[in-house]
Amino acid sequence: MNDTHFPLAVHQPFDWPLIAGFLAPRCIPGVEAGAGLAYRRTIDLGGRHGTIEIGPDRAGERGEGALGVTIRHPDAALHPAIVARLGRQFDLMTDIAAIQTQFAQDALLAPMVAIRPGLRVPGAWDPFELAVRAILGQQVSVAAATTLAGRVATLYGAPLQLDDGPPPAGLSRVFPTPAALVAADPGVLRIPTKRAETIAGLARAASAEPGLFEGRLPLDELVARLDALPGIGPWTAHYIAMRALREPDAFPSGDLGLRKAMAVAGVLPSFKEMDARAEAWRPWRAYAALHLWMSLGGSTGG
């Protein structure tokens, strides 16, 4: 299995350091790792394990500010599909001119856009993985959610199996499949019983209806379907839609970090006031949410 390097097409401006900084504290131990401006993770594709590493384009094929990916996977025929999937995961080709123009007219967002013109919404390699992570992040800190996600991967994920050579630093497991989590044990995971039941219910739904995580449903219908699952409320449903399924208008309005960033003279808005304020940001509310989170230092947001 040889490492293969590909330059990635990126629609500028694109702020990779910002995304790398957002992802670093959220990396699932054993499954993902961040080192400086590099992000690496394990993948399970076509029934075979592999790894990817994305970061500044070390080969320089596309000039300053470009990105590159190093793929380690035994099936070379899948490499173009991996590159395309990464393009969606990291929102590489969005033309953000329309978003910038709209937000520049908003008193709250305009200074944030001026500071971070290349901001994107970091997506997910595996939507089910991100959905589990979102459940684990309910009402806990980013650091706590990361620890819990690592525990899930360690206890239920398969050991990383590469055809040749040792794995990259920090990578040892692939994230568990839905089938592996349908009987998630709260005692083993050391999480509340209801939280484990929510993960198990999500796993059953993903097993029964794979299309749930393929981005085929309109936003309102998707949120309603997810919200109907026990233990998944509107915040979690919108967060999943926003990051796992790349819904540009998803907006987890119940998020405390968003409330803090939207406060006026230190007064937090009500949920109703948040929703009303966010109407001006349609159809790009997910990008507004990222700007708001990053204005607080990126320490909130699941």
pLDDT digits (tens, 9 = 90+) for 206-265: 999 878 888 778 899 989 999 999 999 998 999 999 999 899 999 998 888 999 999 998
Tokens of 35: 């080192």
This prediction's pTM: 0.90
| CA distance linking residue 98 with residue 206, whole number of Å | 34
Q: Rounded CA gap, 178 and 180, in Å?
A: 5
What is the dihedral angle through the alpha carbons of 183, 240, 243, 213, rounded to the nearest 10 degrees?
A: 70
DSSP 217: S
Q: How far is 166 from 183, CA to CA, in rounded Å?
A: 31
CA atoms within 13 A on the CB side of 141: 5
Q: Give percent of the chain above pLDDT 90.
A: 74
| In the predicted structure, residue 95 carries a pLDDT above the cut 90 | no
Block residue for tokens 């233990």: 231
Burial of 226 (0-12, 13-18, 19+ CB in 10 A): buried
Give the residue numbers marked as catalytic: 255
Give the three-state DSSP class for 282.
coil
